[in-house]
Structure 1
Amino acid sequence: MFSNFSFVAISILFLAQTALPVVANNFSATVVSIGDGDTIRVRTGNKTVTVRLACIDAPETKQSPWGQQSLARLKQLLPVGQTITLRSTETDKYKRLVAEVFVGNRNVNVNMVEEGQAVVYRQYLKNCPESKDSLLQGENRAKQQRLAFWSQANPVMPWDFRHRITQKSTSQPTQGQQQSNCDLSYPDFCIPKNSSNLNCRDITQRRFKVLPPDPHGFDRDRDGIGCER
């Protein structure tokens, strides 16, 4: 017969094993909309949340035609109403859930990279340990086959494209802008006073100077720089 100690030990082991799926942060959701090649909106339970696809970076929508192609492909892979599984890795500074997205056993993040519709975001690759090798191998094959984004002679990485936009947006405003009805919280470019509430997805500028009171909340971490990603 089992001693009380053995019974308790077995019970603890059983509970630990059954808790693993919770620790893994895997859960189901339904696709609501696609924002761009690496951002979607999903519904889970009674909440609708924004999901940033982990460990990949898609061309910006203004990187014509690659950004629009990436968006169109993700819409094909994740049609509205599609049931998906999310493996969450973190929540970013914009309160977006960062996750790997699965349809059945297919990893959509890897799929986008394999088809040249997105690139590996090496800065965050440590967050996808189970998919790391597949992502890197998929990108290498896409480069060799010159698929989609990699068909360009000199592709501009999405993060470099965003940096260039930032440099343009942080140029000094003209005298006309300074004298116009621009919100003084954003001296690097003009947002009209009393504009309806905006967020970083509504504007193209990134990493710009923000002064109090920051009515649109662009500077979430209050370091004086708005929309850093």
Structure 2
Amino acid sequence: MNKTAIITAFLVLFSGVPTIAQTSLPNMTVVSIGDGDTLRVRNQQGKPVTIRLGCIDAPEMKQNPWGQQSRTRLGQLLPVGQSVQVRQIERDKYKRLVAEVFVNNRSVNLTMVQEGQAVVYRQYLKGCANTKDQFLQAEADAKQQKLGFWNQSQPVMPWDFRRGKKNIQPNTTRSQQQQCDPSYPDFCIPPNLSDLDCRDVPYRRFRVNQPDPHGFDRDRDGIGCER
């Protein structure tokens, strides 16, 4: 094989996979898996650290069977004793280390999305600014192929499940619309639901009719949650 062919094959093999220099990030060792986006590791000083995988959100454990499947898959990717490299993003309100975890230069966060075991957490995607397009494309592909979490007719996003907002669904039928707030024709919010904000809904740039009880359309231009 000539040099050009070798280079081409290498690029094809690793296209779409974020890589890092082996010495650029600290090494840690997996201690345990909490759920599909949480794990415990031990740092180089031997101190235990809780990591929340950044830029993604896995189904909650009570979202059967998706939460358990996600946890199982993360455990397969990160078995106890596995050496990993960690790119710190921030600390969350629970003092956990929000991070991107790598094994052999491959992002485990991205792999979970590619396999439909987690979804892109758009609200916090800025933590993966350099690879956000890869995350979004991975989710689109997994959704199209109905992989993992996407293999259900009406998936409830993990953040909606945690907030108890399980009834927010796209409008599809007249009977549904009769039970939905007419201020939001593109998806269903039941009337008299407690106040929501843009963080509570998985939609952006949707139509809003006045009186807009949840205040999604702050500038009153007919478009809600524009940012």
Q: TM-score, normalised by structure 2?
A: 0.61
Q: CA deviation at 1:165?
A: 8.0
Correspondence for 2:112: 112
Correspondence for 1:27: 26
Correspondence for 2:64: 64
Q: CA deviation at 1:130?
A: 2.1
Correspondence for 2:36: 37
Measure, in 2, the Cα distance between the counterparts of 1:102 and 1:39: 14
Correspondence for 2:126: 126
- Superposed, 1:76-91 pairs within 5 Å as 76-91=76-91
Q: CA deviation at 1:93?
A: 1.0
Q: CA deviation at 1:65?
A: 0.1
- Superposed, 1:43-58 pairs within 5 Å as 43-44=42-43, 45-58=45-58
Greater helix proportion: 1
CA contact (8 A) 1:110 1:131 kept: no
Correspondence for 1:189: none
AA paired with 1:146? K
Measure, in 1, the Cα distance between the counterparts of 2:63 and 2:165: 11
CA contact (8 A) 1:25 1:88 kept: no
Q: CA deviation at 1:134?
A: 1.1
User: Which secondary structure does the structure 1 equivalent of 2:129 belong to?
Assistant: coil
Structure 1 residues 189-220: Cα deviation after superposition (integer angstroms, max 9, x where no partner): xxxxxxxxxxxxxxxxxxxxxxxxxxxxxxxx
Percentage identity across aligned positions? Answer: 66
Measure, in 2, the Cα distance between the counterparts of 1:25 and 1:42: 18
Correspondence for 2:99: 99
Q: CA deviation at 1:104?
A: 1.0
User: Which secondary structure does the structure 2 equivalent of 1:112 belong to?
Assistant: helix
Measure, in 2, the Cα distance between the counterparts of 1:110 and 1:57: 11
**Structure 2 segments unaligned to the other structure (5+ residues):** 1-20, 167-227
Structure 1 residues 15-62: Cα deviation after superposition (integer angstroms, max 9, x where no partner): xxxxxx9xx982110000000000000000221010000000000001
AA paired with 1:33? S
Q: 4+ residue runs of structure 1 moved beyond 3 angstroms?
A: none
Correspondence for 1:210: none
Correspondence for 1:135: 135
How many pairs align? Answer: 144
Measure, in 2, the Cα distance between the counterparts of 1:52 and 1:26: 17
Measure, in 2, the Cα distance between the counterparts of 1:132 and 1:165: 26
Structure 1 residues 116-160: Cα deviation after superposition (integer angstroms, max 9, x where no partner): 000000000011112211110100000000001001000000000
User: Which secondary structure does the structure 2 equivalent of 1:26 belong to?
Assistant: coil
User: Which secondary structure does the structure 2 equivalent of 1:129 belong to?
Assistant: helix
Larger Rg: 1 or 2?
1
Measure, in 2, the Cα distance between the counterparts of 1:131 and 1:40: 22
Measure, in 2, the Cα distance between the counterparts of 1:108 and 1:134: 13
- Tell which deviates more after alignment, 54-63 or 130-139: 130-139
User: Which secondary structure does the structure 2 equivalent of 1:130 belong to?
Assistant: helix
- Tell which deviates more after alignment, 105-114 or 124-133: 124-133
**Structure 1 segments unaligned to the other structure (5+ residues):** 1-20, 167-229
Q: TM-score, normalised by structure 1?
A: 0.61
